[in-house]
Structure 1
Amino acid sequence: MVRNIAIGFVIYNPGNGLLSRIQMALELGYDIYIYDNSPQEESVRKFCDEKGKIKYLTGGKNLGLGLGVSSVCAQAYFENNSGLVFFDQDTIFNKDTLECIENYFCDHSELELTHSAVVFNSKKSKEKNEQNCFKDVPLAINSGSLFYLKNLKKLNWHNEKYFVDCVDYEFCFRSKRGGLRIGEYSCTPGFDHVTEQGDKKYKIFGKYYSMRAYSYSRILDASISSLRLIGTTLSSGDIKFSGHIIKFLLIYIIFQASVRFLNSVDEKKA
């Protein structure tokens, strides 16, 4: 069966669940593009060799998310794909997820004229009114994003100078500068961004939040990348977009401080 979209991943020491999702997508007839930032871990590479239908790319070492996303999208574009949906290696999806995304891509071809990407998620998975499922947003994460590859080429793909954090937000900023929008479709079935991420639930003022403590090197990268992007947006005169990134950075720091405090409290109780 000829599919209308391809699927892309950028991986780094992935868990076993990824391979089962790739196998499912292959059986459904999708073209798969993988950029491997940890080729020394052989499981995915051997899996790709055995299947023979997966486009496997690597730079031989960890070259970051920006370069990886650019590589899978560019490779898919030059192999005549018009759309690619990108998933993080720990994002769980199923057949219904892929069917929903592909159908939306086919039914709303007009978005290719105005948007660089539409991010799919399950924030409103129980919504019955289709009109309430879609809206334009200033920021969107990479995972679950359907990229319109012709428009990505116009934007010169993703920025490989961003290693992990703010790869997605920097892309959103350049999309805006390039006259393209970011959409969000929130009624997608089968999404699970939590189970394989190792987050822990914490109860704060009666509400539960899923959080995890990142390494200090990751926090430093996120902070530097955010400040860099804030500088770029301010220098361009886009105060509103700068505000979005400042808000993201403040929330990120607060959550990281909170989870460390809560973990220390738990350790003392133990």
Structure 2
Amino acid sequence: MDPAVLREDMVDGLEHEAKAVLEGERVAVAMREVPREAFVPDERTAYADREHDRLGTRVLSPSDAARLLRELDPRPGDSVLVVGAGVGYTVALAAELAGARNVHAVEIARPVVYEARENLGRAGYGEVLVDCRDGARGLPEYAPFDRILVEAATVDPPGALVEQLADDGRLVYPKGPGRGSQRIERVDGPDFDPEGSEEGEARISLSPLLVSGEQSGAIERDRTAREDDEHARRRAESRTGWEHDWLEWE
């Protein structure tokens, strides 16, 4: 069957009241345009509302991708960073919404980066920048970003990502430890307050945000280095007054 017809059927299903994950036309139009078969190895199930595994990572189901992008709401011309690019399907949707030249993506596993680049090129979004990085560190040389999407579960968004957010920007992430389901939450602006983030009603179930040594095929699986750096930075920033001064004794 013609893939365009299958995409139309997929979007119709997501708009139906039984799922109702698509509100407004922008994301629906993007999902009608992006050839999902370029990112899913099994073309027979490319347009079923289900996730797929590829190279140790996950291609989100269309409904989960729609939930994240509905909350992110990238606009034409927005500078967008996707953390956890996977093999590129969600990145392609963001590129359709904001423009491929405006979208940057990071992925921690090098083989997945190569796959994402190839898939995006084949789908018509070759201008997207995909780099091999620890996603928690973001992409500071291209900051600030109007929109940041973390396509992995985290209790709080890493501080480096919040710092790379534009003053009127938005960061969307699945809040949770990576077991069971998480709630999709939104941070508006770079002044992150864990108590003030916007809690959405949508839920999703994603794996935790990986750090160096945790990607598929890595020898070590150790997240302590990044956590130690993050805790040390937070402690330093929290010190005030006499803790920063030398005591002078007569």
TM-score range, shorter chain: 0.3 to 0.5
TM-score of the aligned structures, taking structure 1 as reference length: 0.35
Greater percentage in helix: 1
Higher RCO structure (Cα 8 Å, ≥6 apart)? 1
